[in-house]
Amino acid sequence: MEVLFKNAFYKDTRKLGDIRTKKQVNRLIDEVKDAASIHDISGITKLKGYPSAYRKRIDNY
């Protein structure tokens, strides 16, 4: 599956101070890249108004 992240996503993840949250983000990136389809990712939500944008909450971040 092709995965695209915005540059703002990378900038935001670099600014994270909490190591636990950084690890969770890295695990999520790996999960998304390894998924065969969008339906293989648990807890993902489609964003309204965007044809192919999704989100997944990590902890309270």
pLDDT at 17 over 90: no
Mean pLDDT of 8-22: 88
Interval 18-47: pLDDT, tens: 889 889 999 999 999 899 998 899 899 999
Q: Cα–Cα distances in Å, from 43 out to 6, 22, 34?
A: 20, 18, 15
Instruction: Tell me the pLDDT band of 50, cut-offs 50, 70 and 90.
Output: very high
Looking at residue 33, the DSSP 8-state letter turns out to be: H
**31 within a domain of the structure (yes/no):** yes
Q: Which domain holds residue 38?
A: 7-55
**42 within a domain of the structure (yes/no):** yes
For the chain, the domain total comes to 1
Are 50 and 37 in contact by the 8 Å Cβ rule? The answer is no
Mean pLDDT of 44-60: 89
* Single-letter code of the amino acid located at 24: Q
pLDDT at 1 over 80: no
Which pLDDT belongs to residue 3?
A: 84
